[in-house]
Structure 1
Amino acid sequence: MNEAQIAFLVLYLIYIGIIVVFHNTLVMKPFRLLTTFLHEMSHAIACWITCGSVQAIQVYDNEGGVTSYYGGCRVLIIPAGYVGAAIWGSIFVMFSGGRKTATGAAGALIFMLLISLCFAPNRTMIALNIFYAIVTGLFIYLEWHVFTPILGYVVLFYGAFVGVGAVEDVYQDTVKRTVLRSDAYSCYQICPCCLPRCVGIQWAACTIVLQLAGALIAMTQLSNRCENMGWWECLSGDEESANKFWQWEQQAAQNFGDWVH
């Protein structure tokens, strides 16, 4: 492993250790609320993808949340909360390895935070979303105008926390006990052949696998083989299509820089 990979791995493990030790403390409450938001937002995204309509997205101070919708495919919408949070955690870890990819992940988070405010948010969610949109936007500015690398460290922490939080939520809500109003129990009602705890174990395993996959891809981006390569070129190994993507990526970065200035 090179120095960048060692630094990433050490920082990632330090983050995981800190998160596990302090996860249930008051200091980590804002991050637990962020995990809840991504859970509810994932329900909403699954609803939109399956042609449903979202009426409200809300996050409560007790770290619960609800997404009100009608239509869509319930078989996909119900598991999208826990699985979606796991996917977002993996994406943040995966994209934290590069400056442009970290900016893209942070920008996607800001977009979700702001667009969700159009769907009858409650007071807690409004404060949470505005806070994270401002803080994440500030780190994007610092990354491109003051000091680099810093945004990748922030995005990596988001990803590690959301991943650990997703596993913790799945365990507490679906494996440790059966909550009648949980997503796992709703899945059981649709498919009685799979007990709620069995559903929860599958979701927990999925979350862990996605976190490991995100870390592995980030490590690959930081390898010597991928030095001076575009993100797609590094992962695909297809030089011809990768070169075209690299040219497009460079042009997009230049346009972004011109727009900022």
Structure 2
Amino acid sequence: MPALNDTSTTLNLFLAARDFQERVTPNPTQRTTLIVAGCYIVVIAILWHVPILSWIIYPFKLLTVGFHEMSHAFAGVLTCARIHAIELDPDEGGVTKMSGGISWITLPAGYIGSCFIGACLIACGFNTNASKIASIVLAVFFLFTLWWARKDWLTWVLILGMAGLIVLFWFVAGGVALRYLVLFIGVMSCMYALWDIVDDTIARKVNTSDASAFAKICGCFPSQVWGVIWLLIAFVFFGLGVIVGLVAFKETSEEQKEDASKFLPVPGSSGAFSTTPNSMVGLAMIFSGWLLM
């Protein structure tokens, strides 16, 4: 009997492994998404280190800094902290001013949280409808961030600009452009988080970094060790974002197009109200007004 049970367990493990392999094997649509994501990584890496061209991705760098600070703030809220303000710096820095909360949760939340957000966006970038939902969730996060950063003009300009970009891409090719925008923001957020961890904690020690403050509180490891731990966690999130996208969204591009036409459809498409340039401008104004409330 024990031998029979061992054989059954081995068979179940084999079948589970085979099923998982089939699920993570990309179909043609997913393969295209992976290629685009790979191109994003290469392009971002190049633009990152070319002084003049780096301005092309500058707004997205600030957005990822916003994700970092927003993660601090939400971790603070979850640990009963009082959030006083979020401020972004034109030099790609930021600060979340809070009192109270649990420091050993709020401090690593910036790096890990921004990478988690990026991983979620990468997963959603495999599907048009998922990208629409992700955009709505981002809009809610933007509202909270605008409230916390209501005195910081740079945050307002950044978020309103990104909101306008999301609205614009929603109308292009039935939402396909939005999918690739969400994918780009996700890749950018993960890459920035990974680079930020390496730059602040491993390559050089920044005494004012979250890792340094965390090391002072815990005392058991130096900031570089915590940086390595957070880096590994960030890599896991990055990988999980891709895996979830491959497993959860197996629809072909044609199937996604059909589904997208029925879920929050683009004006003028099947099942949607007719569109004119004025209606598009009106929707953009309504969306911007919603953010300004």
Q: 1:78 is paired with a residue of what secondary structure?
A: helix
Written as runs of structure 1 = structure 2, the 5 A alignment for 1:34-73 is 34-73=63-102
What is the CA-CA distance between 1:114 and the residue it aligns to? 2.7
Structure 2 match to 1:218: 245
Q: Is the 8 A contact 1:89 1:162 kept in 2?
A: yes
Structure 2 match to 1:185: 212
**Which amino acid in structure 2 is aligned with residue 201 of structure 1?**
V
Deviations, residues 69-118 of structure 1 (Å, cap 9, x unaligned): 11111110011000000100100001111222111111111222232111
**Which amino acid in structure 1 is aligned with residue 107 of structure 2?**
I
Comparing 23-32 and 54-63, the one that deviates more:
23-32
Written as runs of structure 1 = structure 2, the 5 A alignment for 1:47-196 is 47-119=76-148, 120-140=150-170, 142=171, 147-196=174-223
The TM-score normalised by the length of structure 1 is 0.83
Correspondent of 2:44 among 12, 16, 19: 19
What is the CA-CA distance between 1:253 and the residue it aligns to? 4.2
Runs of 4+ in 1 over 4 A off after TM superposition: 252-257
Structure 1 match to 2:17: none
Correspondent of 2:35 among 3, 7, 10: 10
**Which amino acid in structure 2 is aligned with residue 105 of structure 1?**
A
**Which amino acid in structure 1 is aligned with residue 204 of structure 2?**
R
Q: Are residue 33 (structure 1) and residue 62 (structure 2) matched?
A: yes
Q: Is the 8 A contact 2:62 2:92 kept in 1?
A: yes
What is the CA-CA distance between 1:228 and the residue it aligns to? 7.5
What is the CA-CA distance between 1:139 and the residue it aligns to? 2.0
The TM-score normalised by the length of structure 2 is 0.74
What is the CA-CA distance between 1:194 and the residue it aligns to? 1.2
Structure 2 match to 1:203: 230
What is the CA-CA distance between 1:181 and the residue it aligns to? 1.0
Q: 2:91 is paired with a residue of what secondary structure?
A: coil
Aligned residues: 236
Q: Is the 8 A contact 1:47 1:54 kept in 2?
A: yes
Larger Rg: 2
CA 1:134–1:255: 2 relative to 1, 3 Å:
closer
Q: Is the 8 A contact 1:114 1:130 kept in 2?
A: no
Comparing 77-86 and 202-211, the one that deviates more:
202-211
Q: Is the 8 A contact 2:30 2:126 kept in 1?
A: no
Q: 1:150 is paired with a residue of what secondary structure?
A: helix
Q: 2:176 is paired with a residue of what secondary structure?
A: coil
**Which amino acid in structure 1 is aligned with residue 102 of structure 2?**
C
Gaps in structure 1 of 5+ consecutive residues: 230-248
Identity between Structure 1 and Structure 2 (%): 28
Measure the CA separation in 1 of the matches of 2:176 and 2:266: 18
Q: 2:66 is paired with a residue of what secondary structure?
A: helix
Gaps in structure 2 of 5+ consecutive residues: 1-25, 274-293
Deviations, residues 34-53 of structure 1 (Å, cap 9, x unaligned): 11000000000001111111
CA 1:121–1:228: 2 relative to 1, 3 Å:
same
Q: 1:79 is paired with a residue of what secondary structure?
A: helix
* Aligned alpha-carbon RMSD (Å): 2.6
